Structure 1
Amino acid sequence: MRASAATIWQTVHAERRRLAADLAGLRDDQWRLPSLCPGWDVHDVLAHLVSTARTGRVSFVRDLLMARMDFDRANENGIARHKSQDPRATLQALKKAADLTRTPPVNLATRLVEAVVHGEDIRRPLGIAGRYPEPAIVQALGYQLRTPVSFGGGRERAAGLRLIDRSTGAAWGEGDAVEADGIDLLLAVSGRRVDQERLVGAGASRLASTTPGAPTTGSGAQR
């Protein structure tokens, strides 16, 4: 069952606040650690989250036009606008934007993808354990599996595989089985490197091999 818009926003707002709390005590060098998102460090991903939190339908179209319809360039421009010289100022900006309900003209499930995947982009390199509501992970994963890679999803990465969430028993697709925690399936499908030992089954090595350096989350509006 898909969550209502109100439930999605409650989850997104809570995840923004939780991430801000997790990052409150970072050392200066930790902000420069490479994230799971190829080419971005921890501070870059934080600035991206501020940018997407503040991006509505009109500003999304404006930013895309300014980037000459290049989603990656639009993302980089957003980071440049919202990345303060002091990472703590960027963190404060996320706190201020945490309860906004702005969104590009895309499926609202992309907000869950943003919150969860980018949360792990930041947390895993820092050794911070992330805990996300299982319904949010399931809905985000279902969306990514329906969406082509060219639009920020991961449909092609899971082609010919049956993904099984060992936490909930939910399953998607047909083919060689891959069983893992839902969060690891979501990350792999979204183009993140996941340690192969987290994935079990005949299709595990194939899913793991598709992930490094690939495009990432949500309907072309996000990296």
Structure 2
Amino acid sequence: MTESVDSATLWSFTHSERAALADDLAGLSRAQWVQPSLCGEWSVEDVIAHLTAAASIGRLRWLTSVLGVRFDFDKHNDRRLAEHRGTNPTETLERFRAIVTSTTAPFGNPAAWLGEVLVHAQDIRRPLGIARTPSIEATTAVAHFFARKDFTVPSHSTAKNLRLEATDGPFTAGEGPVVQGPTIALVMAMAGRPSYCTDLTGPGTATLLDRTTA
């Protein structure tokens, strides 16, 4: 997988990863739906509602929303999450399934929105003990995007002056002390999830961990 992946392929990866996540969540208990995710204070159900919101809002509605809260993005996210959360987890999951094949996004490279799905899926899977790794093709595309650009997460800044090397795929990026490990662990670390640094090795790992916990 090279750094250059066309938009149609990125959206295809996104649709596949959404569908896989929906299938993973189909049998969750009520207690599992309220379990904390790796994403701040959000529960598993909150994260799913957020993913539904992200796939349901175009540029004009997004601009209207953020202007309405004076660019308070936390408030914007919370309002959109509440809008797309169902009256119960079953309805929340049904709403998520309805956007599996959506190509709606506010703006930006489709790799960013694929990254949104990959990262939040692992935010859910890791705490629940769901052992599924996204496709290496999708994860590699996101890793390249994260390594070269700060967008929804400060991934480029987090990886700056480090040499990242995947042990399960072709991804490499940067120069400096080496950090090695599975591609998904590198992606999650760049997205600011310090728990994934335990899956990484190399002299640059301590620096990466410090940056994810700053």
Is this a same-fold pair by TM over 0.5?
yes
What is the one-letter code of the residue matched to 1:48? H
Q: Post-superposition shift, 1:137?
A: 1.1
In 1, Cα distance between equivalents of 2:109 and 2:74: 19
2:183 paired with 1:182: yes
The CA RMSD over aligned residues, in Å, is 1.6
Alignment of 1:51-66 (within 5 A): 51-66=53-68
2:171 matched residue in structure 1: 170
Question: Which 5+ residue runs of structure 1 have no aligned equivalent?
Answer: 215-223
Q: Post-superposition shift, 1:169?
A: 3.7
1:144 matched residue in structure 2: 146
Structure 1 pair 28/57, CA: closer, same or farther in 2 (3 Å)? same
Q: Post-superposition shift, 1:166?
A: 0.8
2:124 paired with 1:122: yes
Aligned match of 2:51 in 49, 52, 57?
49
In 2, Cα distance between equivalents of 1:188 and 1:38: 15
1:217 matched residue in structure 2: none
What is the TM-score when the length of structure 1 is the normalising length?
0.89
In 2, Cα distance between equivalents of 1:168 and 1:98: 26
2:123 paired with 1:153: no
2:106 matched residue in structure 1: 104
| Other structure's SS at 1:211 match | helix
In 2, Cα distance between equivalents of 1:23 and 1:116: 15
Alignment of 1:200-219 (within 5 A): 200-212=201-213
The question of whether the paired residues in 2 share the 8 Å contact of 1:146 and 1:153 is answered with no
What is the TM-score when the length of structure 2 is the normalising length?
0.93
The question of whether the paired residues in 1 share the 8 Å contact of 2:153 and 2:192 is answered with no
What is the one-letter code of the residue matched to 1:51? A
What is the one-letter code of the residue matched to 1:109? A
2:68 paired with 1:89: no
> Higher mean Cα deviation, 179-188 or 156-165?
156-165
In 2, Cα distance between equivalents of 1:140 and 1:58: 26
Aligned residues: 212
